[in-house]
Amino acid sequence: MTEAGPAASYTSLGEFDDDVEPGTPVVLVLGPSFAEGSGLADVAKQLRSRPELAAVMVVDELSTELLQRAIRSGVSDVITVPSELPEVVERASENISVTAPAQPHVPTATEAPDQPSRLITVFSTKGGSGKSVIACNMGVVLAKRTDRPVVLVDADLQFGDVAVMLKLTPQNTIVDAVSSLHRLDAQLLRSLLVRHERSGLYVLPAPTEPAFADQVTPAALVEILQLLRTFAAYVIVDTPAHFTDVVLSILDESDDVVLVAGMDIPSIKNVKIGLQTLRLLDMSADKLKLVLNRANAKVKLDVSEVERTLQLKADSLIPSDIVMPRSVNKGVPAVLDEPKSAVARSMEQLADLFVVDPASKRRGR
């Protein structure tokens, strides 16, 4: 299907290649069979070799795992059947712009910002704590509150999911920034960011393959973060759930560290060990903001008990709510998908902790 409207049916990508001249902007509507075997790997290869193409996938049943695989393969959107033909056409048409070889829309640097940039790192010592979800939602909230750019950096270099959670199809990742470091300036770095259109948040995605993680050194990442701070109001960094040299460098560079804990014994135990490590590293207590996720879950742990154990008062309580996993599966942050939900309100309150200009606290609501 092209911008002009004609459609054709093919039984394989090879048949499509034989029939359609390279350079022709086309949106591929892929059937459910591409979810099996090497289907998505073949799609990824096709999209890399022909950048004028975009792809929408139609599946029988959508799962988080399938959505992640599809997005990482370069698929722009995934919809479920049965879908009416007009919906398929509409969703495909939305992605035609992906094929246009236009310059990416990038934020404009502010020559002399009224307020300094703020670097906020979201960290946890336990996987599955909701760290990345919190980083995405907080980024969206802050992006809607300021006229200056807000950038979310996915520094979970092996298994980062920020692009998937925001349903983005990045053309560049943090590896591209590192490989261009010898000539990297603010303008080039801005061109590597992908924009979340609905919120205005900019994202520097994680590498597409775990093997690329070693290319990102602590010094390189710090240099990139410092460059982002020259034009962004806020730089938010999502990190892996363990200490590495890269993570330690990010934490040292940060103005604030959002420490996320779940309401379960293993999570609390790991966070306590993490706090001890941070204290040994002489991290200022003023940097730390403790966030308890699923704080209202009925798990025989209460907030005061957790605070006593960690010797740290919780700065934010995120309630347990079906809205959160549902929004993750849709690729739409809860603050946009269900803005009146308790989860969305708690994310707004978390963002209040970091708003530089008090006058802008309610902007964008």
Domains and CATH numbers, the chain: 13-99 (3.40.50.2300), 118-360 (3.40.50.300)
Alpha-carbon distance of 265 to 280, in angstroms, equals 23
- In the DSSP assignment, the letter for residue 37 is T
Q: Cα-flanking dihedrals φ and ψ of residue 143, to 5°?
A: -65, -35
Q: Compute mean pLDDT per 10 residues along the chain, 365 residues long, and list them.
A: 60 84 80 85 80 80 75 75 57 50 43 75 88 96 94 95 92 91 90 92 93 93 96 96 93 95 89 91 90 77 87 90 88 92 94 71 42
**Predicted pLDDT at 89:** 57
> Please, which residues bridge with residue 153 across strands?
204, 237
**Predicted pLDDT at 148:** 92
Residue 289 is which amino acid?
A: K
> Please, which residues bridge with residue 316 across strands?
291
Alpha-carbon distance of 332 to 318, in angstroms, equals 18
